[in-house]
Structure 1
Amino acid sequence: MVIDSEISAVNIFICFFIVVYFFIQFYNNFDMFSKKKFIVWLCIRIAVVLCLICALLNVKWVSTPNATTTVFLVDSSLSVKEYKKEIETYINQQLLNKKARDKIAVITFGREPMVEVPISKNIKEIRLETKPNPLFTNIEKALSFTADYFPPNTNKRIILFTDGRENIGSAYEVIQKLKSQNVNLYIYPLKNKLNTDFQITAINMPHYVYRKAKISAEVVVDATSNGEGIFRLYSCGNKIIERNIKVQKGKNTFLFQVPVQNIGNIKYTGEIEFREDTNPQNNYINVSTMVINEPNILVIGNKEDTKNIENLLDSLYIHKKCYTPLEVPSDIDFLSGFQEIMLVNVNHKHISSELEKSIERCVREQGIGLLVIGGENTFALGGYEDTILEKMLPVRCKMRGNKKQPTTGLVLVIDCSGSMEDESGGVKKIEMAKEAAIKSIEILENEDYVGVLGFSDRLEWIIPFHQLKDKEKIKYDIGKLKAKGGTLILPALTEAERVLEKADVKVKHIILLSDGQGEKEGFQSIISSMKKQNITLSSVAVGQDAEKSLLKKVSQFTGGRNYEVANYYEIPDIFARETYLVTKKYLNNHVFVPRIVSDNNYFKKRDLPELKGYIGTGIKDGADMILQSDKEDPILAIWNYYLGKVIVWTSDLSGKWSSDWIKWSEFQRLWGKIINEALTDYDDRDMKIQISQNSCRVFVYLDSGEEKSELSAQVVLYGSEGMQKKINLKQIRLGEFYGQIVLDRVGGYVLTFHIFHGGNEVKRTVRTVYLDYSPEYDINQCISVDNFLLTSDTNILDKSSNLFDLPIVLLNKSSRSLKHIFIPLALFLFIADIWIRKNY
C-alpha cells in the first residue's frame, strides 16, 4: 500500500484535528468504563481514527498484473517488403508458446499505423494483409499509437520489426516516453541488402534567370558502386541535354550549361539510365526555374473574342500566350509560369475539370491574377453557377437584390413519346429532359409562372400552369414524366399557346423539346397567333430523327432560338441557358453609360463611353464594385481571392457591346491599369530564399533584407488535393528566419513565403519543390537499423528465444484507492462506538 503523493494542507489539518480530538475524548472518558470495556472502546476509537486518516490520505493498494499484452508492431514500408514472410513465420512460431492468460495484437505501419489483429487471447495464426501507405516510414507515430492502444491493468510489451529507416518523425523521444509508461520495447532488426543502385539526387539551378541566357545546372548523382550511364534533361517535354556520365561509389557532381528560351515557370526533368541499376524508381527528378523578361499573361478564349485583347497587350509590351479553351494545357506547372490568366467569353463546359482546379490553385496558392471578360457565353449563360470558377469571382451568377424584373410565364413542352426511352452513353433522353426541367424551375423566381406539358399522341399537364410557389413539390412532380406513345406536336403547341394567352405576365415563352417527327403542316395558324400574343418559342431537336427543319422555322418565326442536340447531356444546360435568357435580366442588350461607384485609380470623374450590353450578375459581400450599369448591376468588380486578385468585366471586349470603349482614346491607358492590377504583386528582388532538400525534408532560409525586430515570417505549404500546412519560421537573427518542412506525399508542392510587420503582410514570394520518389528509394536519406538501435538504446530480440518467457523489466503497476473501504468501515465502527457509550 502507498499514500497518495498529492496531499493537501487541508487534509493534513483535518488529520491533526482528528488526533487532537481523540486525545481530548480519551482524557474525558478515561474513568467512564471498566478496564476491560475501556480497552474495547479504545480499540474501536483508534480504528475509527485510523480509517478516517487513511481515507483522507488516500491510501491505495498497489498491485502488479500477472497478464502481459504483447503487440507485434510490423514495419510494412517498401524497404522491408521482402521480409513479410519471415515476419509472419516468426510471429506464428512464437504464438505456439503464448501463455493462456496473455494477450497479443498485431499493428502494421508505413506512413501511418493500422490495426491488423485487435487485442485478443485466442489468436492461433496471423497473416499480414493490411496495406498502410508504404512510401514512408513513421516509427514515431507507430510507437505512440501502440502505447495508447494497450488496455489498462496489464504489462506492456512491443516487438518492433523494422530496418530503422525512419524518414518521417523522430522515434527517439517517443522511446524515452515508452519507458516512463512502463512499456517494454524489443526490436527485431531487419537488415537491408545492399544492391547496385544509381540515384539522381538533385538538380541545382538558380530560381530566377533571364530569357535567352545560359545557366549552369549542377546535377548530383549518388551510387552504391562504380558505373557508366546516361544523363538526360528535358524542358517542356523536349530533350535538351543527353550526356554519357561515369560515376564512382558515393556522391558525384556534374555541371551542365542549359539554354533558356521560354518565359515563365519552366519545369525541367532530369533522368539517368544505368544498365546495372536494380532500382529505377529514383532515376528521375524535377526542378523549376522562373524565366523572366517582362510580364507574362495567359489568354484563354476563341480568336474572334481575344483579338482586341491581344492587340491591347501588344501595345502595352506585355508578353502573352494565347490558347483556345480546348487547347490550353491544364497542368499547374504550365499555369504557374504566368503572372495573370485571362478568361475571355469562355463557356464553363469548355473548361476541363483539371484546368479549373489548376487555375483555382494558382490564384489561391501563388497569387496569380485572374481577369474574366464577359460575353454571351459567360456567367449564368455560360454555366458558371455553383462551380469552382464562380466561387473565385467577386460576382455571383444568380442575381439578387435587383429591382423588380418583368414576371415570366414559361411553358416546358416535352416530348414523352416512346422513343424518349432510348439511351445514349448510359443515359435515357427522358431522364435528361426531367433534369433539364428541374434546372429551369431552379432558375425562375417565386413571382414567375411555369407549366410542364408532356405530349405524345395525347397531352398531359405534368405541372399545371401556375405561379411558382413550391419549387420542391414541382421538382418532385416532374419525376412523373414517362415515355410512351407517338409524337403529335401541334396539339401541344395549341394548348401551351392557350394558357399563355390568358396569363397575366410580361414575358411569355415556350421551350419545345422533341426527338421525333410529328405533323408536317398546319403550324402557320398557331405560330401567327403566338406572334400576335408576343409568345416566343425556342426548340430543342434531339437526335437524327427529330423534325429539325420544322422546329427551326417555328423558332425563327416566333423570335426564339433553335438547338440541335446529339449529346443528351447537353439538354439540361440548354434549358438553363434558355431560362436565363427568357427572364430578360441576364442578357442585357441595351445602350447605357456605366457609372463609377467606387473610388479607385482606374477612372476619374469623367464621362465614360457607352456600352451596348452586358451579362447580369450580383455583387458578392466583400467585393469592390467599381462600375455599375443603369440597372445597378456590376460591370467592373474586383476582390482578393486568397493570395490572388480576381477582376470581372461583365461586358465584352470583342466589340459587339464595347465598340465605343475600344475606340476610346483612354482605352489603352485605363485597361493597362486594370491588367496591371491583377498581375502577381509579389516581388522578392530584395529577399533571399535558400532551399535545401534532403529527400522528404526541406530546409528553408529566408533573409527579408530588413533588420527589424517586429518582423515575423511564415511559409504556407500547398500540396495536391488542396492540402495546406502553415509553418512559422524561427528568427535566427534580425530579419533572418529558418525552418524545416516535411513532405509526406509524392508530388509537387508550392511554398508561399510571407513576411509580416506588426501583423500586416509586407512581402510575399513563391517557390516550387518536388518530392519525385518515395524516400524509401533514397539511398542517402535512410539510416541503417544498426544506427537506429545504437541511438535508441533499446533491447535487441534474440530470434532463437521464446519471447513470451522474456522477463518483464518494466512492470505496469496499478493502484486502487481504498477510500470505498475505509469510509464505510469508519462509519460502522463509529456506530459501534456510540452503542458502547450508550449501553455501558
Structure 2
Amino acid sequence: MLSFSQPIVLTLLVLLPISALIAWPRLLTRRRAAGSRPGGPWRLNKHALSALVVRWALLTSLIFALAGLQAVQFTNKLAVVFAIDASDSVGPSGVEQAAQFVREALRSMRTDGNDEAAVIVFGADAQIERAMSSMRDLAPMGAQVRSAGTNVEGAIRLSLSLFPADAAKRIVLLSDGQQTVGDAEAAARLARAADIRLDVVVLPSVQGPDAAIERIDAPQQASVGQIIPLQIVVRSNQAMRAQLTVFSGPDIVAQEVVNLTPGLNAFNVRANATRTGFSAFRVQISPERDVRPQNNALVSSVIVGGPPRILLVSVPPAFSSSGVDEVGALKAALSAIGIEYDQVSPRAMPSEIQSLAGYQAVVLANVPARELSLRAMYSLQSYVRDVGGGLVVIGGPNSYGVGGYFKTPLEETLPVEMQVKDPKRFPSVSIVVVMDKSGSMSAIENGVTKMRLAAEAAARVAELVNEDDEVTVIGFDTELVDLIGPFLGRDKNKYINQILSIAPGGGGIYVYESLLEAQKIIAKSTKLSKFIILLADGNDAERQEGVPELVRKMRDEYNTTLSVVAFGDGSDIPFLKRIAAIGKGRYHFTDKAANLPTIFTEEAALAQRSYIVEQRFFPRLGMSHPILSGINEVPALQGYIASTAKPAAQVILRANESDPLLAVWQYGLGRAVAFTSDATGRWAKNWVRWGDFPKFWAQAIRWTILDRGQSSIQVNVQQRDEQTVIVAEVPESQIATDLKLMATVIESDGQARELALMQTAPGRYEAETYLDQAGAYFVRVAPSHTAASPPVAGLSETIVAYVRPYSPEYAQVEGGEENLRDWALLGGGEVLTSPAQAFALNAPVAASRTDLFPLLLALAALLLPFDVGVRRITVSLRRLLGLSGEKLAPAGSLESSGRMDQLFRAKTRVTREPVPQIMPRRPAQTPLASPPAAAEAQVPSPQQAAATASELLRRRRQRAQAEDDAKATGGEQA
C-alpha cells in the first residue's frame, strides 16, 4: 500500500496535461508532396510522443517525491506504556497494587517478540522506570518522584515519547484520578490524535478516617494587645474526637478537644497579639484516627504593629559553667528604658525565620556556637540579611573565637572575624588532634559520615592556627592508621585535603597507644605550649590502663594540656572526664557529630590562650556614631575576646590599636553589632554601675531596628497549580524602561532563593517558582541597581509574608473514578478490569512506513539526460537495430526512415561518383616524363564536355529536389 505524507503537493500533477497541451502541435503532423504545401492525412509523430512520455515520467517522479510517497506495510506489533500513579493520594498499597497489575499484564505478552512494554512512575513529576522492552517481568520499582501532587498530563506526554514508530500504541493509566496539576483531558485528546489508545485502571485512594484543616480566617493586620479572632474550618469524613491546638511561634495560645461531625466544622479561637512584627499562627488538628496527617496543619499570618520587641538569648546561670547571669543587668537596663523583650536559652531559640521575624532585634549574650543548631544559625543569618532584622552579639569567655564561631553562619553575619591575624602577639603552640576512627565513625548523620565531620573539625583546627603554630593529626583505632604532620600553620593548605580524606576503620580506639603516639610528637616539639585534643567514643574507649599516668607525665614534663571530646554516651564517660581533669583541659560531650567542628575550634582558640584578653583597659574611640550619641566617656573594662574587624566594618570603640571592642556594619537588609566584652560583673563591673549603661545598650539595639516606611511596589503571591507566582506592580509614574526587579523567597529554615521577575505588562512583573513544603514564607521584592540602571526614587524593597497551603493532593476530593472514565473516553479507550486486556490487539492499526523519496529522486536524475537527448538527437530505430556504423543526425533535420534512406543514397552517389571536369588546353611545352596516353586522356573531347554539362545539370536538379524534400520533412516535424 502506498500513501503520501504531503498529499497537497499532488495538485502539481496538473502540470502533466498542461505539458501535453503544449506539445500537441508536435504530436500530429501532415505529409506533403515535393515542392507543394502541407496536405494529406494527419499522422502521429512517434518521436515527439516519446519525448512527452519521458517528460511525464520525470515530472511524476519529482511530484511524488515532494508529496512524500511512502510504502505502507501493516503490522501486528503492539507497544504498551504503563503509567503508574505513585502520589500520596494512592499510597504505598495502591502503588503495589498497580505494580502487581503490570507484572500480570507483562506475562500475557506474546512470545514472538511482537509485543513491547515500558513503565513510567509519576506524581507531581514523571520518571521512566523501564524503557521499551520485550522482557516479560518487572523489577522492583526504584524511580523517585515528588509524591505531593499528581500530574496526569505530564505522565501522558512522557508516555508519548517512548513509543516506536512501527507498532500499535496503547497507554495504560493506573491512577485514582485525582489530578492536582496539568490538563489530563488535553493530553488524552493529544494521544488520540496521534493514534494512541488510552486505557485506564482504577486504583483506590487512601481510605479511612480523615480530618483536614480546610482554612483559617484571620485579619491581615493587628495591634499589640489586640485580641485577634481566628475562625478555623475543619473538614472530616467521619464523626470523631480531635484536639485542636493553635500556636503563635513556639507558644501555645489555645488548645481544646473538639467533636468533629462529617462535613465542615467551624471553630472560633481568640489569640492575643503579644509581640510586634510578623506573627504566624499555626493551627494543628490531632484526630483519634487519621490516614492523611499531611493535611492536619495550616498556617495563617498577621502583621502586628506596635513598639519594638527584642529576643534575648543566653545560657541560664544554672547551666553555665561560671554560674553568671549574662543578661541580668541588661534586662534591668531594657526595662528602665521601656524596651520589651523575651528571653530564651540558645537551644530554645526559634530555628524558623518566621518566628524570628516576630522580633525587631535578637541579642546573643556569651552564647557558644555549639549551643545553637546549624539551622538556627542559618535562620538568624537570613533574618538579618534578607528580612532586615537586627543582631547584637555580646561577648564573654564562651563567645566569638573561643565560642566556636569560626567558619559558621554567625561569623559571616558579624562585622568581625574570629581569627586574629597578628601572629606576633601569640606564643606559638603545638596542637595534636587524636581522632577515634573506629567502626562506629562510619555511621551516617544527615547524609554525612561521622568520620567526615570529625575530619572537617580537625581541618578547622589547622585553618585557625597562626603561621608558626604546629599541627599534627592522628587517626587511631586499634593501631596507628593515619599520621599527618607535624606541619606549620603556614603550610596548612598542603595538608587540608589529606585530613579531610581520613576514612573510618574498625574496632574501638586504643586510648593508651594513641596518646603514646601523641607524646612522641609533643616530646620532639620546641613550642612552649602543647595541646592535645582527644576524640573518643564514650562507649568504646579501650586500653585505659596507664593512661592517667601518661597524661600526668605529659602535663608535668612537657607543659601539655589535654582536652577530651566524648562522642556518644556510654560506660567510658567517667574515664574520659577523669583524664580531661588530670590534663587540666576541658571535657565536652556531644551526641551529634555536627557539633564537632565548633567544639574543635573552641579548643584550638583556647590552646592559643591569647584570644581571651583579661586585663584592665579603657576603650579608645574609633569613630563617632549614633550609638554613642550623648555619651562622652566610658568606664574601664576588665577583659574581652580578641578578633579582627572586617574591611567593611565600622569600628566605633577599640580595645587597643588592633582589636575592635565595638564594631558595626550593614549586612544585607539588616544591621549587626559586635561587642567583644561582656555585660556582666565579670569584665564590665564598672559598666554595670555606669549611669549611661541603659542608654548605651538602648542606642545600640535601636540602631539595628530599621524603619523602612512604605514602598510603592505592590507584591502579591498566589498559587497556580503547583507553581507559586510572585506578581509585583509598579505605579505608572515610576515605570522605567530599564527597571529590573529581583525577588527573594525565604524559607522557614533561612534558605533563600533569588528569582528575576520578567515584565508581562506595563508596570507588571512576574516570576514563578516551586515551593515543595507547605508553611509560611517571606517574599522580598527589590529593584536591582547597576551602574547602567540607577535607583528609581520612591522604589525600595517590599517584604510580604506568604503562606503556602498544603497540596490539593491531601484534600478530601471525590469523583476520581469518573475522571478516569472521561479520560479513557477522550482517548478512545476503556476501563480495564483484567491485566490481559493490556495486550489485546484492539489498538489503532499500526503500519511501518518506508519513504520512497530517495528512489524517486534517483529516478528523476536518471530520466533527466534522456529527456534532454530525446529532444535533441534522433536515431533510425531500424538502422540502429539492423545496420552498424551509421551516423546520427540532428533530430529536427530528418523525416521518417524511408525519407532518410533516400537522402542517404543521394548523398552517397554525390560523394562517390567522379565529377567530369573541362580542362583548358595547355600551351606547347617540353614533353613530360609521363606516358603520352596519360597526357592525352587529360584533354576531353567536345562530345565528352557536352555530356559532362548535361550530367551536372541533371545532378543539380536532383540535389535541389532533395533539399526541398528535406525542408518539407523538417517543417512537418516542426
TM-score between both structures, scaled by the size of structure 2:
0.62
* Equivalent position amino acid for 1:393 in 2: L
Equivalent of 1:647 in 673, 682, 704: 673
**SS of structure 1 residue aligned to 2:702:** helix
Counterpart code for 2:796: V
> Are 2:364 and 1:343 aligned?
yes
Question: How far apart in 2 are the matches of 1:566 and 1:720?
Answer: 29
Distance 1:741 1:827, change over 3 A: same
Q: Which residue, out of 701, 710, 724, partners 1:675?
A: 701
Q: Deviations over 1:237-279 (max 9, x none)?
A: 65735476675x654545454455577735342437589x887
Partners of 1:88 and 1:703 lie apart in 2 by 49
Inter-CA distance 339–237: structure 2 relative to 1 (3 Å threshold): closer
User: In the alignment, what sits opposite 2:529?
Assistant: 509
RMSD of aligned Cα (Å): 6.1
Q: Which of 132, 136, 140 is the aligned partner of 2:149? A: 136
Matched letter for residue 107 of structure 1: I
Q: Greater shift after overlay, 130-139 or 69-78?
A: 130-139
1:77 matched to 2:108? The reply is no
Equivalents in 2 of 1:755, 1:424: separation in Å?
Answer: 49
- What amino acid is aligned across from residue 267 of structure 1 in structure 2? F
For residue 120 of structure 1, report the CA deviation from its aligned partner. 0.9
Give 1:24-63 correspondences, 5 Å limit.
61=70
Q: How far 1:384 moved relative to its partner?
A: 1.6
766 and 375 in structure 1: CA distance in 2 versus 1, 3 angstrom threshold: farther
CA deviations over 1:771-808 (Å, ceiling 9, x no partner) = 45x5334125x664435765894434153794545655
Residue equivalent to 2:37: none
Query: Can you give the 5+ residue segments of structure 1 that lack an aligned partner in the other structure?
Result: 27-34, 456-460, 501-507, 531-535, 556-560
Q: Bigger shift: 363-372 or 173-182?
A: 173-182
> 1:797 maps to what in 2?
830
- Conserved? CA contact 2:98–2:203, under 8 Å: no
1:749 aligns with 2:776: yes
Alpha-carbon deviation of 1:172?
4.3
Q: Distance in 2 between matches of 1:89 and 1:578?
A: 58
Matches within 5 A, 1:372-387: 372-387=393-408
- Which of residues 560, 563, 566 is equivalent to 2:586? 563
Deviation (angstroms), 1:319: 1.3
Counterparts of 1:691 and 1:38, CA distance in 2: 79
Please report how far the alpha carbon of residue 432 of structure 1 lies from its aligned counterpart in structure 2 after TM superposition. 12
Q: How does 1:208-607 map to 2 (within 5 A)?
A: 208-222=221-235, 232-235=244-247, 238=252, 240=254, 242=256, 247=261, 250-258=263-271, 265=279, 267-271=281-285, 273=287, 282=295, 285-302=298-315, 304-328=325-349, 330=351, 334-363=355-384, 366-399=387-420, 402=421, 405-406=424-425, 408-412=427-431, 440-448=461-469, 469=491, 472=494, 495=523, 499-500=526-527, 508-511=528-531, 516-518=547-549, 538-540=561-563, 562-563=585-586, 576-577=601-602, 579-581=604-606, 586-588=611-613, 591=617, 593-596=619-622, 601-603=626-628
Q: Distance in 1 between matches of 2:746 and 2:551?
A: 62
Residues 640-699 of structure 1, C-alpha deviation per residue, up to 9 Å, x if partnerless? 555544333334333655566666666544543432343365667999988898997889
Is 2:818 aligned against 1:786?
yes
Mapped to 2, the partners of 1:462 and 1:272 lie a distance apart of: 55
Give the deviation of 1:71 after TM superposition. 0.9
Q: Which secondary structure does the structure 2 equivalent of 1:797 belong to?
A: coil
Write the distance in 2 (CA, Å) between the matches of 1:107 and 1:422.
Answer: 43
Q: 1:786 to 1:697 in 2, by over 3 A?
A: farther
What is the letter of the counterpart of residue 203 of structure 1? I
Offset of residue 287 of structure 1: 3.7
| Distance (Å, rounded) in 2 between the aligned partners of 1:96 and 1:44 | 56
Q: Please state whether the residue corresponding to 1:305 is helix, strand or coil.
A: coil
Match of 1:472, as an amino acid?
K
SS state at 2:161 partner: helix
Correspondence for 1:504: none
2:172 alignment partner in structure 1: 159
Measured in 2, the distance between the counterparts of 1:538 and 1:122 equals 68
Do the aligned residues in 1 keep the contact of 2:172 with 2:838 (CA within 8 Å)? no
| Structure 1 residue 361, shift from structure 2 partner | 4.9
Distance 1:585 1:63, change over 3 A: farther
Contact residue 156 and residue 812 of structure 1 kept, 8 A = no
Distance 1:345 1:697, change over 3 A: same
How many angstroms does 1:346 deviate by? 1.2
Distance 1:239-1:751 versus aligned 2 partners, 3 A rule: closer
Note if 1:118 corresponds to 2:131: yes
CA distance, structure 2, for counterparts of residue 586 and residue 778 of structure 1? 57
| Partner amino acid, structure 2, of 1:74 | I
- The verdict on how the C-alpha distance between 1:386 and 1:89 changes in structure 2, with shifts beyond 3 A counting, is closer
Contact kept? 1:595, 1:629, Cα under 8 Å: no
TM score, norm. by length of structure 1: 0.71
User: What is aligned with 2:121?
Assistant: 108
Secondary structure, counterpart of 1:69 in structure 2? strand
- Kindly indicate whether residue 801 of structure 2 is the aligned counterpart of residue 767 of structure 1: yes
Deviations, residues 813-836 of structure 1 (Å, cap 9, x unaligned): 9785845984698489869999x9
SS of the aligned residue for 2:398 comes to: coil
Q: Structure 1 residues 289 and 415, CA, compared in 2 at 3 Å: closer, same or farther?
A: closer
Q: Residue 741 and residue 453 in structure 1: after superposition, are their counterparts in 2 closer, same or farther (change >3 A)?
A: closer
Q: Call closer, same or farther: CA 1:294–1:129 in 2, change over 3 Å.
A: same
Change in Cα spacing, 1:708 to 1:485, as seen in structure 2 (3 Å) is closer
Distance in structure 2 (CA, Å) of the matches to 1:630 and 1:389:
24
Q: For each residue in 1:707-759, what CA deviation from the matched residue of structure 2 results, as whole angstroms up to 9, or x when unmatched?
A: 86669988654446747585959999989x999987543x4231325365959
Does structure 2 conserve the Cα–Cα contact (< 8 Å) formed by 1:214 and 1:257?
yes
Deviation at 1:367, TM superposition (A): 3.9
8 Å contact 1:360–1:392 — kept in the other structure?
Answer: yes
Question: SS state of the match for residue 297, structure 1?
Answer: strand
Report the counterpart of residue 31 of structure 2 in structure 1. Answer: none
C-alpha distance in structure 2 between counterparts of 1:208 and 1:698, whole Å: 23
Identity in percent = 22
Equivalent residues of 2:222, 2:304 under 8 A apart: yes
Once residues 273 and 547 of structure 1 are traced to their aligned partners in structure 2, the CA distance between those partners, rounded to angstroms, is: 47
1:391 to 1:805, Cα distance in 2 relative to 1, 3 A: same
> Which of 169, 182, 185 in structure 2 is aligned with 1:169?
182
Q: 1:571 & 1:733 partners in 2: Cα distance?
A: 54
Deviates more, 1:67-76 or 1:793-802: 793-802
* Per-residue deviation, residues 548-589 of structure 1 (Å, max 9, x unmatched): 79987xx9xxxxx74356779899867644543565774455
Change (3 A) 1:621 1:678: same
**What is the Cα deviation at residue 320 of structure 1?**
0.8
| In structure 2, C-alpha distance between the alignment counterparts of 1:355 and 1:291, rounded to whole Å | 23
